[in-house]
Amino acid sequence: MKLVYKVLWIDDNQVFFKNHESVISEHLEDKGFVCDITKYTSISEFEDKEASSEHQKLYDLFLIDLNLDNDDTGDQIINNIRENTLVDIIFYSTVLDNVRKSVSENNIEGVYITSRNKDDFEEKVTDVIDVTIRKVQDVNNLRGLIMAEVAELDRIKKEIIKKFTQNNPDHNELKKYIRDSVFKKFNNDKNTFYHLSANDETYININVEELVDNLIYDSYKKARTVQKIADNEFTLKDYNQDIIKKRNVLAHEKEKIRENGTHFFFYFDGTELEFSENQCIKIRKDIQKYKKIAAKL
């Protein structure tokens, strides 16, 4: 699972695009995804730019009008698309009987059909989007998502710290904060990391840019340092609760199942993390929230 939901849309009616794309984008945002729509006005344009079946697999959903004002017929469109991809597809048309006939005659499976009517179209698209999300919304996919995204957030936090030190040559206050707060409980390898464990003013000799690349500078320490730099725009307590704790429990704890079939994890303190659709949505939204905060820094 990824945070970007990719839609490929083929329709030569620009007004139809504009009338519906905001509904699709807002629905995906409500589910915790970033909506990425690629638009084409003809099958030939699509095939020129998306010829590779491997490329087509990058999409999560195809939306295809079967009444394009060009030489493409419904049968040709269906054959061209279904031969090259197994992505979920919604075919739509002003004449539903023609769509059903084309799908039936070509023995096409795994596609959805709807009309161009506003309510019908939007209901079908949002319903199918929900189905595609549920297909991959399991514990293993969520584990993969949060591990990958936390790694990306760690990379961004590291760049924020490095950028701060570069823009502030005299950053001794930050160095003192790193020694006294970020590494407050640091007791290992005092010879190698003497400046972190000594109580004198040798913290001014800390090379922050070099230290932040070291594996001992973990996700929590990066977050704590960014909180110092961010000046209240980034809150360590919230980030730890929303991201780090959930990353840790998903990465290290075994999923448990209650008698009623619900899934959950035990945090290290004995409290529970419920695995549910709402929790999945919250995690996706929280990741995006902290990415936006980091981008401002």
Read out DSSP for 247-258?
HHHHHHS--EE-
174 versus 44: which is more confidently predicted?
174
pLDDT at 238: 94
What is the pLDDT of the chain when averaged over all its residues?
A: 84
User: Of 155, 182, 98, which Cα lies nearest the Cα of 294?
Assistant: 155
Of the ranges 173-182, 198-207, 230-239, 263-272, which one carries the lowest mean pLDDT score?
A: 198-207
**pLDDT class for 160, splitting at 50, 70, 90?**
very high
Burial of 197 (0-12, 13-18, 19+ CB in 10 A): middle
Pairing relation of β-strands 256-257 and 111-115? Answer: unpaired
* DSSP 8-state symbol, 61: E
CATH 3.40.50.2300-classified regions of the chain: 4-136
| Residue 181 confidence (pLDDT) | 85
pLDDT surpasses 60 at 192: no
| Of 85 and 233, more confident | 233
pLDDT in tens, 117-133: 899 999 999 999 999 89
User: Beta strands 4-10 and 34-40: pairing type?
Assistant: parallel
Least confident of 13-27, 90-104, 249-263: 90-104
Taking residues 139-154, report their average pLDDT: 87
User: What is the C-alpha separation between 143 and 247, in angstroms, rounded?
Assistant: 8
- CA dist 243 and 240 (Å) reads 6
- Residue 159 to residue 153: CA distance in whole angstroms: 10
Of 159-168, 179-188, 198-207, 214-223, which one has max mean pLDDT? 159-168
Q: Average of pLDDT values for 277-287?
A: 92
pLDDT at 88: 85
pLDDT of residue 245: 92
Closest CA to 63 of 122, 139, 148: 122
Dist CA 244 CA 222 (whole Å): 11
Question: Whole-angstrom Cα distance, residue 203 to residue 247?
Answer: 31
Overall pTM surpassing 0.85 (yes/no): no
Q: What is the mean pLDDT of residues 184-193?
A: 59
Tens digit of pLDDT for each residue in 80-91?
A: 665 656 788 898
Of 89-98, 181-190, 203-212, 263-272, least confident by mean pLDDT is 181-190
The answer as to CATH 1.10.3720.10 being correct for domain 4-136 is no
Task: Provide the pLDDT confidence category of residue 206 given band limits of 50, 70 and 90.
Answer: confident
